[in-house]
Amino acid sequence: MSALEPRVWPLNTTLNRHGEMVFAGVSTSELVQEFGTPLFVIDELDVKEKIKQYVTAYSDAPMPVKIHYASKAYASADVLRWMVEGGLGVDVSTGGELALALAAGVPPELIVMHGNNKSMEEIERGITAGVGAIVIDSFDEIERLNRICKSLNKTIDVFIRLTVGVEAHTHEAISTAHEDQKFGLSIFSGAAEQAAIEVNSSPYMNLLGFHSHIGSQIFDPRGFELSAARVIEFCALLHKKYSFITKEVDLGGGTGIAYLPTDDPMSIADMANVIIDLVVRESEKHKIALPTLSIEPGRSIIGQSTVTLYEVGTIKPIELEGNTTRTYISVDGGMSDNIRTALYGAQYTARIANRDPLGELVQSRIVGKHCESGDIVVRDLLMASDVAPGDFIAVAASGAYHRSMASNYNMLAKPAVVAVKHESARLLVRRETEADLLALDQGLL
């Protein structure tokens, strides 16, 4: 029986005497029988444990700390409620995410609204609902906020998102604070300073401070060090030139998680210590008052809690050069429920979930059922040679940016999401049906 690597699987994952994977006391066979596949299975107590770790890690900080869960990682009503019950707020980046958070009962003042292209309607909705703050990403937005607040006769707390020129050591598509990309206003070009002047002179906006999110799936804290140093240096500059006092600094999310047993990310507690120390040190260095610290973790709260269960459909050995073969294992989902492999070259751990794997380990690739050769779920792994059609496979660490990035490519219906806890499973989001998909098509009315 092959042991489970605790770093990548949800906390409450075990194997029963048949070698079948059991999630918080619910076996794979029970799950697939009741809910079908592909299926996202969230270990509720794993998520709650991560929330607790965040709250504990920042509880002794010398400044007030606000933690907003980045709902883009994964959101459904229950999961957002777990965040609020655990003491967190919620970060939204579109009208849809805002609608879900409000419908789930997240108190509006705990919501921070992001987005590089918020529409008039989205901004108006946020302000009317009473969101805690809006993060400004462009000069157009300053103008829109002024106009909307004036027409509603309201004021709103805002941050300005800074581009701090830091190359986070992660995939380019999730690296967000270098100069040549769409987010934020540069501290080097003068844009951020100009924006601060404009916002500060508006009767409709209360400039709380500045935001920086350098990227996602970050293991090396040096990127955070540099970005925090630059954000606080910028705050000090504004203080010196304009006597502006920064009340709050938001350093975004980005803490990485283990997808492979060999991945060695920093713990939530260690990363918190690094971030707190940085803000204290840089504030002292620049002789500015210690601001409130905000962070926006997504992946590091939800990523490890979830597995995707798939059913194996076909098996195909392919001859490679040099007399080797790779076994292609086709499953009943693919790039429509996990786009990260195609988009970022992400790597995963997977295991036969319904029984103990037998046989020698062979070079394998788990692929989906879409019409693209890039439709790969797990690019390279060693899998037991006895894997067969009808087996179920679990892919680890699939809680963040999986279901939330799912598509209907090839008219595949999006998978259901269930939460497991104390030996029972509860449906959080039902599976889409073909009828759901056809219902949108006006030619079928």
Ligand X SMILES: Cc1ncc(COP(=O)(O)O)c(C=O)c1O
Stretch that binds ligand X, among 23-31, 250-258, 286-294, 332-340 (CB under 6 A): 250-258
Please report whether residue 351 would count as binding ligand X according to CB under 6 A.
no
Amino acid at 305: S
> Quick one: which segment of 97-105, 193-201, 252-260, 349-357 binds ligand X (CB under 6 A)?
252-260
Cα–Cα nearest to 308, from 345, 277, 334, 285: 334
Interface with ligand X, residue 132, by CB under 6 A? no
- Residue range at the interface with ligand X (CB under 6 A); choices 21-29, 48-56, 249-257, 308-316: 249-257
Please report, as a single letter, which amino acid is at residue 375. D
Select the span of 198-206, 230-238, 251-259, 274-282 touching ligand X (CB under 6 A): 251-259
Structure tokens at 135: 């993060």
Binding residues with ligand X: total (CB under 6 A): 17
Residue 333 within binding range of ligand X, rule CB under 6 A: no
- Pairing label, strands 205-211, 156-163: parallel
CB of 137 to ligand X, least distance (A): 9
Residues whose CB is less than 8 angstroms from the CB of residue 403 and which lie 6 or more positions away in sequence, other chains included = 40, 74, 337, 414, 415, 417, 429
Q: Which of residues 280-309 bind ligand X (CB under 6 A)?
A: 296-300
**Beta strands, E only, 256-320:** 292-295, 306-319
223 near ligand X (CB under 6 A): no
**With binding defined as CB under 6 A, does residue 369 bind ligand X?**
no
The span from the CA of 416 to the CA of 221, in Å, is: 35
Q: Which of 201, 243, 319, 371 is catalytic?
A: 371
Which residue, chain included where needed, has tokens 């104390």?
422
Does 126 bind ligand X (CB under 6 A)? Our answer is no
Binder of ligand X out of 95, 221, 252, 291 (CB under 6 A): 252
Taking residues 71 to 90 in sequence order and writing x for each that binds ligand X by CB under 6 A, - otherwise, the string is -xx-----------------
Tell me if residue 371 is catalytic. Answer: yes
Distance of CA 138 to the CA centre of its chain: 23
53-57 long-range contacts, CB within 8 A, separation 24+: 53/267, 53/268, 53/269, 54/88, 54/268, 54/272, 54/297, 54/301, 55/86, 55/87, 55/88, 56/269, 57/268, 57/269, 57/271, 57/272, 57/273
Question: Which residues are part of the catalytic machinery?
Answer: 371
Give the binding site for ligand X (CB under 6 A). 70, 72-73, 91, 114, 213, 216, 252-255, 296-300, 400
